[in-house]
Chain A
Amino acid sequence: MTDQNDVSAEVLENTRFIQDVRDQVATVVVGQDEVVERLLISLFTGGHILLQGVPGLAKTLLVSVLSKSIELDFSRIQFTIDLLPSDILGSQILDQKSNEFVTRTGPIFTNLLLADEINRAAPKVQGALLEAMQERKVTIGNETLSLPAPFLVIATQNPVEQAGTFELPEAQLDRFMLCHRLNYPEPSEEREVLKRNMALGIRKEDRGAVVNTEFDVMQHKPVGSSEDLVRCMQAVNDIHVSDTFLEHVIEVINRTRNHPNIELGCSPRGGIALIKASRARALINGRNYVIPEDLFVLAEDVILHRIRLNYEALADGLTGQAVLQDMLRDLGATPSQISQEA
């Protein structure tokens, strides 16, 4: 009985923490509930996330306010063509006093790393970052350093302007647990954004004045701590996954590999990510078990960047999103491939 009460208390605590974070973010960023949910899923599962969207959708602001809400370190790197791996990872410099090399760590040593426009950097830099994402370790000179925990990369990619960019290969895209496509705000949200922006005002600085930004009005009061985060991460790990849900995941993954329009199907890492993300979503929605709805809601974010359409599908003008939607609609409507094979 005591255990049951403890579990309920823990669930309540987690729910309150999640809601507080959402509320704190909402004070600065209008709308974008879906992105906030995806960021929390990434945070609770330790999976990296790639955000695809045009500039000006408050991505940086969102990550910044999220880090401040949970008292996490935050760094931002603007990826450019002339960026070097040492600019991210760090390097060894000669200390003239001691005449010895000392390690100076780069901005990657943080909890939340915003890799802005990741596809603008050369593959060598992308490779260095993605290796660090996978291993959560960085080697500078002869020294191997562990990255702080939690370590989460939030990379952004502008899907419109492709001139002078280096497309992320499938193997590197697979490293991202989620790939979320940001949409423009609704007209009502847009109205609220404009109103808030007009109310920002100015502040005196030295002998002049500067216009306030959202960053200036952001509250620095954290609503949770790293203990709350760890508790949520543990709670995600305890979320029940039924055998039936596992069968659903296997069926979806299997269908991507046998679909006539898909050349490259989903990797096993995709299946793992689907379960992890579904568990986190269940927690965020106050459940201690996953349901098919979690799978359907997260399928695009988890699967779409892991599959590649074949030439015939592209020639027919099909998109990955349309093919995936059709495939998900076929679940149940057409016989299961697994039972057919059996």
Chain B
Amino acid sequence: MPGKQKRNRLLDLMRIFAGLAFCLVFTHAGFAESQSTASVGMSARIEEVILPGSELQVKEIADGDPIILRIISTHPHGPDMFRYELEYYGLQPGEYNLADFLERKDGTPLGEVSAVPVQVESILAADRVEPNSPDAVSIPRIGGYRLWMTLIFVMWVLGIFLIVFARRKAAAEGEEDEQPPPTLSERLQPMVEKAISGELSNSQMAELEMMLVAFWRKRLHLEQTDVAEVTQILKQHKEAGPLLQQLEILLHRPDASQEVNVAQMLEPYQDLPAEALDEELAALAS
């Protein structure tokens, strides 16, 4: 039965070939028949697009392209073929070949590639007026956020400089105007003059008395001594003692029998140089 077996095998091969041929023809015919259609602006997908040659990619989009194409996925499909899944957006109505928007990834010419036709339809009425593209306008030079921020920053820095400068100037002027406080000797002399001429009020006489005590306290280096002890020490002193005694008679004692000669009492303090006490103390310290 070898002849029968050969014939059966041949018949099988023929059936397989016929089946494959039928499938190819039917698939191509079916694909050609089911041309993809989409309205303007809406996406559409096409699957199982088998294109020969090396792998393809989408060309760079140029202004005015009526179609925006994307490759969703790419799979090898037998020797020197690839199967693609494509997505596209039609921007203008019309019939297009998606293959026109593809190029070889390896940079070789596209060559003979079967067409992938699509149709983009418009759902708007034919008499609809298309909007005009907006005219380009120039940006105003002033008024920008960045400009304003820069201006505010500059003003802020200037303000700080002005404040610091003004303060320094005021301090410098203050230092120039500020005079050292009058020394005890400087304050004592006019008071003594007034006391001799009888122009001092009660409160000024009280102040003069305390100034004289302070003067002697300084002169005798009793600044740190307890104030209660100071008067006791001054009373014992050969110059300060009589002075305090006379002040006591003049200012505190009622119906005192003896008169006090104010001019004579204050004579040693009348022509006191302004810096006398300070110089004297400085000399003692050195």
Q: Name A residues whose Cβ lies closer than 8 Å to a Cβ of B.
A: 240, 242-248, 251, 288-293, 296-297, 299-300, 325, 328-329, 331-333, 335-336, 338-339, 342
Contacts and interface: CB of A to CB of B under 8 A. Distances in A.
A291 B203 contact: no
B277 to A, nearest CB: 11
Given A332-B213, A339-B207, 20 more contacts: A242-B252, A244-B202, A244-B205, A245-B251, A247-B205, A247-B206, A247-B207, A248-B210, A289-B253, A289-B254, A290-B252, A292-B209, A292-B213, A299-B227, A325-B226, A329-B214, A331-B213, A332-B212, A336-B210, A339-B203
B278 to A, nearest CB: 13
B217 A329 contact: yes
A329 B254 contact: no
B231 interface: yes
Interface string B216-235: 01100001001110111000
A338 B203 contact: yes
B245 to A, nearest CB: 10
Interface string B29-57: 00000000000000000000000000000
Interface of B: 184, 187, 202-207, 209-215, 217-218, 223, 226-228, 230-232, 248, 251-254
A333 B216 CA distance: 11
A292 B206 CA distance: 10
Given A247-B202, A288-B254, A329 B227 contact: yes
A239 B232 CA distance: 21
A122 to B, nearest CB: 37
A264 B109 CA distance: 103
A244 B228 contact: no
A288 B253 CA distance: 8
Contacts of A244: 202, 205-206, 209, 251-252
A332 B210 contact: yes
Contacts of B213: 292, 331-332
Given A247-B203, A296-B227, A333-B184, A240 B254 contact: yes
A333 B217 CA distance: 9
A296 B228 contact: yes
Contacts of A339: 203-204, 207
Contacts of B202: 243-244, 246-247
8 contacts: A242-B251, A292-B209, A328-B227, A331-B210, A331-B213, A332-B184, A332-B212, A333-B211
A273 B230 CA distance: 23
A179 B172 CA distance: 50
A296 B218 CA distance: 17
A283 to B, nearest CB: 14
B197 to A, nearest CB: 18
A251 B228 contact: no
A300 to B, nearest CB: 8
Contacts of B231: 292-293, 296
Given A244-B202, A244-B206, A332-B211, A293 B252 contact: no
B10 to A, nearest CB: 118
A331 to B, nearest CB: 4
B186 to A, nearest CB: 11
A288 B255 CA distance: 11
A33 to B, nearest CB: 14
Contacts of B209: 244, 248, 292, 332
Given A248-B206, A332-B212, A325 B227 contact: yes
Contacts of A240: 252-254
Given A244-B252, A332-B214, A333-B214, A293 B206 contact: no
B265 to A, nearest CB: 15
Nearest to A328: B227
B227 A335 contact: no
Most A CB within 10 A of own CB, among B218, B251, B253: B251
Nearest to B235: A293
Nearest to A249: B206
B17 to A, nearest CB: 110
A45 B213 CA distance: 29
A329 B223 contact: yes
Nearest to B206: A247
B189 to A, nearest CB: 14
A342 B207 CA distance: 13
B201 to A, nearest CB: 9
A251 B213 CA distance: 15
A251 B206 contact: yes
Contacts of B228: 293, 296-297, 299-300
A198 B252 CA distance: 48
B216 to A, nearest CB: 10
Contacts of A329: 214, 217, 223, 227
B250 to A, nearest CB: 9
Contacts of B217: 329, 333
B227 A332 contact: no
A331 B215 CA distance: 11
A109 B203 CA distance: 44
A139 to B, nearest CB: 41
Contacts of A291: 248, 252
Contacts of B204: 339
A242 B210 CA distance: 15
A9 to B, nearest CB: 18
